[in-house]
Amino acid sequence: MFENDFLSPGADSRLAYCEAITRAAAVLAETLPRQPYSGKSPAELANLFAGDPCPAEGTPLETVLERTRAIIANSVVVSHPFTAAHLHCPPLIAALAAEVVLSGLNQSMDSFDQAPAATVVEQQLLQWLCRQAGFPATADGTMTAGGTMSNYMGLLLARDSWCRERHGWPVREKGLPPEARRCRILCSEMAHFSVDRAAAQLGLGTEAVVRVAVDADYRLCIRDLDRQLALLAAQRLIPLAIVATAGTTDVGAIDPLVEVADRARAAGAWLHVDAAYGGALLFSERHGRRLHGLEQADSLTLDFHKLCWQPISCGAFLVRQAAHFDCIKLHADYLNPESHEELGIPDLVTRSVLTSRRFDALKLWVSLQVLGREQLAEMIDRTLDLAQQAAELIRVQARLELLHRPELGCVVFRYRPDGKVDADALNDRIRRDLFDRGLAVVGDTRISGRKCLKSTLLNPATTGDEVANLLEQIVRHGRILERESAAAAAA
């Protein structure tokens, strides 16, 4: 009765599936907007999509797919050259094709008997990533939903390994020992907020996070790290972990990894490197040396839905010593009984904080096969070159002020008003008005207490002329708003 509602070996089912996928792809391709965003407000969107999500009687798929045109038309177009707010990349067509396969297969990556081939492919891919990172043969990893989960896992293993190795205390069974209240996690002022979130979720509290000052290039300041470590020692507090960032969210700064690794080793602290953004430099001959020191990490975050152009979500967490996964290993008779280990059956649930998990490794595997190392490197290098071009255009534009020297694809700058207009309010209004009009999706942040604009360049297909046009539009819009603000103040 319901055979053709599912993909199965039957001929009719396979035909229905192919027709459905083909039609969905056609609707998306035909409807994809030519501007960054439609400009509709949250209230307008709420009215547009009002209605019963599950009517009493169903509607043919073709009709429903037609209704998705309104969703497509009112989505941010991540491949548009004027979409440059976040670490939100255009996905590779090869990865989109792989999404079709992995969604149709619907493998669950927790046990081998649910995902046999997928388990082997993921393991092989992760071992390759460990080698690229310079990790030893003892390393291993797991695919994750992204940087937040990977950073959490790094600090989770840091906490549990410290409790087990220093105090013989099994956190899994007994919870946190009394000494845990003295534990501290050090990271730079520019480190991702997921460090604070992980500390809260791990029972250490956000007050356990010690933020270290940054230098003039917004990298973790080694001098202040030394000072903070000395303060912890004087207060009999414990440096549980140091988190170094290779590619901060705001400016793409890469912390001095070698020096941070030296301090972590001397302090007996776990070193976690959040390379969710900058980890892609591992695949670039031109820029890979900038990650020197990363190979000394105890754990590592990599994201592929940033500078490797994968559909969300696609990340990896790597650990230098696979034995650390034992801290989170649990067995369930119905899923991964202990006998499986004796038989050499790999159940990947033992190295993840998740149970059901998608076969996201497939889309990265397909993409790497299609691109090859040389083209992947060219695309990464091209993206970083675009940021340098943007920075130079900003330097020579009198109405714009460059806030830093780009290391990756993030370029932070400000519109500089000519008169006595509130610069912070004006920069915020520029960004909001461009978005509300659907003209551009530009980011914003605060640097040194000042409201700034941010262009996050992740599309290697973007041209230098398009970058220039985006900056010209920002300047043009800033002048209009500046005149309006001045006129309103004078009235």
Reported as a single tens digit per residue, the pLDDT across 295-346 is 999 999 999 999 999 999 999 999 999 999 999 999 999 999 999 988 999 9
Close Cβ partners of 15 (under 8 Å, ≥ 6 residues apart): none
Close Cβ partners of 259 (under 8 Å, ≥ 6 residues apart): 222, 293
Contact by Cβ (8 Å): 250, 259: no
- Amino acid (one-letter) located at 314: C
Question: What average pLDDT does the structure give for the chain?
Answer: 96
Distance of CA 255 to the CA centre of its chain: 17
Q: What pLDDT score does 78 carry?
A: 97
Higher-pLDDT residue of 484 and 88 is: 88
pLDDT digits (tens, 9 = 90+) for 245-255: 999 999 999 99
Contact by Cβ (8 Å): 473, 440: yes
Q: Which of 2-6, 34-38, 143-147, 164-168 has the lowest mean pLDDT?
A: 2-6
> How far apart, in Å, are the Cα atoms of 374 and each of 114, 132, 145, 303, 463?
35, 15, 27, 20, 20
Exposure letters 290-319 (e unless 16+ CB within 10 A, then b):
bbebbbbbbbbbbbbbbbbbbbbbbbbbbb
pLDDT at 487 over 80: no
Q: What pLDDT score does 112 carry?
A: 97
Report the alpha-carbon distance of residue 244 to residue 229 in Å, rounded.
15
Q: Which of 14-18, 96-100, 408-412 has the lowest mean pLDDT?
A: 14-18
pLDDT at 489 over 80: no
Contact by Cβ (8 Å): 379, 460: yes
- From the list 144, 428, 191, the residue with the least C-alpha distance to 310 is 144
Determine what percent of the chain is predicted with pLDDT higher than 90: 93
pTM of the model as a whole:
0.96
- Domains in the chain (CATH in brackets) are 3-75 (1.20.1650), 107-359 (3.40.640.10), 367-490 (3.90.1150.10)
Q: What pLDDT score does 209 carry?
A: 98
- From the list 123, 124, 106, 125, the residue with the least C-alpha distance to 115 is 106
pLDDT at 54 over 90: yes
φ, ψ at 215 (rounded to 5°): -90, -170
Report the alpha-carbon distance of residue 80 to residue 459 in Å, rounded.
8
Q: What pLDDT score does 143 carry?
A: 98
Instruction: Give the residue-averaged pLDDT of 12-40.
Output: 96
Instruction: Give the residue-averaged pLDDT of 158-166.
Output: 95
